[in-house]
Amino acid sequence: MKAIINATIVMKDYLIPDGTILIDNANIKKFGKSKDVCIPQGADIIDAEGLYVGPGLIDIHTHAQDNEWIFENPKHTSSHMFLHGVTGVLPALYNNLNKDAYINAVDNILSACDEGCFDNFLGFYMEGPYLSPNFGCERDKNVWKDAIKREEYIEIVEKVKDTAKVWCIAPEREGIEEFVRDVKEKIPNIVFAVAHSEATPQQVEKYIPWGLKIATHHTNATGTIEHYSECRGVCVDEAVNYNKEIYAEIISDRMGIHVVPYMQRLVRKIKGDDRVILISDQFVCDGPIPLGFEEATDIHFDNSGEIAGSGLTLDVACYNFMIHTGCSIVDAFRFGSLNPARVLNLAGLGYIDEGNTANLIIVDDKFNVKKTIFKGEVK
Ligand SMILES: [Zn+2]
């Protein structure tokens, strides 16, 4: 048995100051005000020193950590994420892998899981292969821009099967419907995401009944349609803002380059606190930092100056979002843990409750992670 004492417990929408959390093996046994929770004799004591204790972060979309591809070095990237409070992750691969490289990357991650080197793995975030070739970094290397062919994708689908949790599509691509049907048939619980797309709202909405629930890095690589000179049209972002079902992923870097702070506030207001998900979307790319962006050291650029994901960890993204939107730490935990767990239907994760998995982190008021507890064990 373990007891976290002197905790400011972060609940879904309130705080419990001076709290205690009892952990029995991998689960939360009891929690509440210290005076109401009796600590059994012999329990290991973890003193939170008044800091916040909330649910472990869940990063549903990141390709890399600590400047290394997850698929190339799952063991190191996994422990780096634990240090930053990420107790659940959906690794994304690299967008320009061909079929065989995709399968190898998947194998590499799955064998790390089998060997016990990637315990925070929750499943794959399949960002591709059928996105719009007009978007994304290093797009000259895109090997998936030709017509969609079943014999090319089916092997990947059969390889990942139920380990794939999210599958990204550009709804406007010709032949995407057959792809969606095949994925849904083989992986009934899959969540679709609209990504790297310049689809019309109608094209996006067509896939909501199929389980399209996520807007991949909302407002990034989502098209700019002018319907008449000087008249703003509608595109993916508008469909996402319009449809309540869709969760909006946000990359919140320090300078607000991926999403300007005003837009972060706007999206939070439009989508509401139940539909925002913070992601790190870290990528490996070492193109030069363009002139005027010298301070943007937490994002990456490709050699043509195109943004290539971030260098963020999710704890830092949570703090950035607090700064940019003025949200509370309770909200930040909702965007970094509760909402990701909800969109993926992860039982017992994303919030503190009796019987839930004891994935907990201790953070200070700037969201610096002081301790990560995973399935009841201190990492
Ligand atoms: Zn992307």
Nearest to 144 by CA among 194, 81, 196, 98: 98
CA distance 127 to 145: 14
For residue 61, report the distance from its CA to the centre of ligand 1, in Å: 9
pLDDT (tens digit per residue) in 23-51 = 999 999 999 999 999 999 999 999 999 99
**Which amino acid belongs to residue 195?**
A
Q: Which stretches of the chain drop beneath a pLDDT of 70? A: 137
For residue 362, report the distance from its CA to the centre of ligand 1, in Å: 30
For residue 46, report the distance from its CA to the centre of ligand 1, in Å: 39
Q: What are phi and psi of 242, to 5 degrees?
A: -75, -35
| Contact of 94 with 71, CB cutoff 8 Å | yes
For residue 363, report the distance from its CA to the centre of ligand 1, in Å: 29
Tokens of 346: 């992860």
Question: What is residue 253's predicted lDDT score, i.e. its pLDDT?
Answer: 96
| Contact of 192 with 180, CB cutoff 8 Å | yes
For residue 296, report the distance from its CA to the centre of ligand 1, in Å: 18
Beta strands in 27-117 (DSSP E): 27-33, 44-47, 52-55, 57-62, 64-65, 68-69, 86-91
**Which amino acid belongs to residue 76?**
H
| Contact of 19 with 60, CB cutoff 8 Å | no
For residue 247, report the distance from its CA to the centre of ligand 1, in Å: 16
Question: What is residue 301's predicted lDDT score, i.e. its pLDDT?
Answer: 86
Question: What is residue 351's predicted lDDT score, i.e. its pLDDT?
Answer: 98
CA distance 235 to 240: 9
For residue 170, report the distance from its CA to the centre of ligand 1, in Å: 11
Q: What angle do CA 278, 134, 308 make, to 5 degrees?
A: 45
The CATH number that domain 2-53+364-378 falls under is 2.30.40.10
Domain range 57-345, CATH class: alpha beta
3-state secondary structure (DSSP) of residue 368: coil
Largest CA distance in the chain: 74
3-state secondary structure (DSSP) of residue 194: strand
Question: What is residue 70's predicted lDDT score, i.e. its pLDDT?
Answer: 97
Q: Distances from the Cα of 23 to the Cαs of 37, 268, 347, in angstroms?
A: 12, 34, 18
Tokens of 162: 């139920």
* Pure H helices in the chain: 74-83, 99-114, 150-160, 176-186, 201-205, 236-242, 261-271, 314-325, 329-333, 339-343
pLDDT (tens digit per residue) in 334-379 = 999 999 999 999 999 999 999 999 999 999 999 999 999 999 999 9
Question: What is residue 377's predicted lDDT score, i.e. its pLDDT?
Answer: 98
Q: Distances from the Cα of 347 to the Cαs of 9, 122, 338, 353, in angstroms?
A: 20, 12, 11, 11
For residue 222, report the distance from its CA to the centre of ligand 1, in Å: 10
For residue 194, report the distance from its CA to the centre of ligand 1, in Å: 10
For residue 18, report the distance from its CA to the centre of ligand 1, in Å: 41
What residue spans in the chain does CATH classification 3.20.20.140 cover?
Answer: 57-345
| Contact of 13 with 339, CB cutoff 8 Å | no
What residue spans in the chain does CATH classification 2.30.40.10 cover?
Answer: 2-53+364-378
Cis amide leading into 55 (omega within 30): no
